[in-house]
Amino acid sequence: MLIVPFISESPMQKILPTLSEIWKSPEWKAQAVAFKEGKPCAWCRAKPGDTYTTKSKKSRKFGFSVHHIEKHKWGLSLYNQVKNKMFRKYWQDKTSKPLFLFPTGLSRKEYREQLKYEWENSHKEDIQTAFQEKKELIINDYLNMTEENAVVLCNRCHYARERGMVLCKVCGNGYHKPKYDRCWSCSQVQKEGEVKDEEN
């Protein structure tokens, strides 16, 4: 198990065992309310006050929420991301020198793993410092919403986005996985049209 040395954290970092906790903070909620005010959905262009029809034929008002464009890692996943990025730079700098020779008796992979183990043990404080700095950057990114790092999505589009789907460009109403070029409803219409063309 990886033991991370302690370096002082900011108050916000201490209350974030998971990154999703930031969405419960008063700071984030205040930013989100101000950021989404009056903005339409970035995908379907629905506006505050617009309604849509559910599958059960009921009319519902659109809800709106802020969606952060970049998905960040947190905790151990983020720590490993920072550590691996630092080591890759160290490895490239070390092995790209003109006079560098790989030691005999070890494969390139074995030498890299050995060197990484030694490097990590001797740079724990540097890694931890970079880790804390990265967490602060992520928190600042989440708490300072701009057109570059966040968008407003309606509840339908937000639901689809979280499930890896995109808005259908054909009808502008349905959703589909990126590997397809249209939603299921539009695909059915296309198939029906092809059948009619064959019959004619």
Residue 130: the pLDDT is 97
Please list, in sequence order, all residues whose beta carbon lies within 8 angstroms of the beta carbon of residue 145, skipping any fewer than 6 positions away.
31, 32, 35, 66
Distance (Å, whole) CA 182 – CA 172: 10
Q: Encoding tokens for residue 196?
A: 């009619």
130 Cβ contact list (under 8 Å, min separation 6): 82, 86
In this predicted structure, the answer to whether residue 61 has a pLDDT above a threshold of 70 is yes
Q: In whole angstroms, what is the distance from residue 46 CA to residue 157 CA?
A: 10
Decide if 168 contacts 178 (C-beta within 8 A): no
Residue range 12-51, pLDDT digits in tens: 555 567 788 888 889 899 999 999 999 999 999 999 999 9
Whole-number Cα distances in Å, 101 to 76, 97, 98, 105, 174: 34, 9, 9, 12, 58
d(CA 1, CA 22): 27
Q: What pLDDT score was predicted for residue 129? A: 96
Other CB atoms within 10 Å distance of the CB of residue 38? 8
Do strands 59-61 and 51-53 pair parallel, antiparallel, or not at all (unpaired)?
antiparallel
- Residues 147-161 have pLDDT tens digits of 999 999 999 999 999
DSSP H/E element including 67: strand 64-68
Report pTM: 0.69
- Cα separation, 129 vs 117, whole angstroms: 18
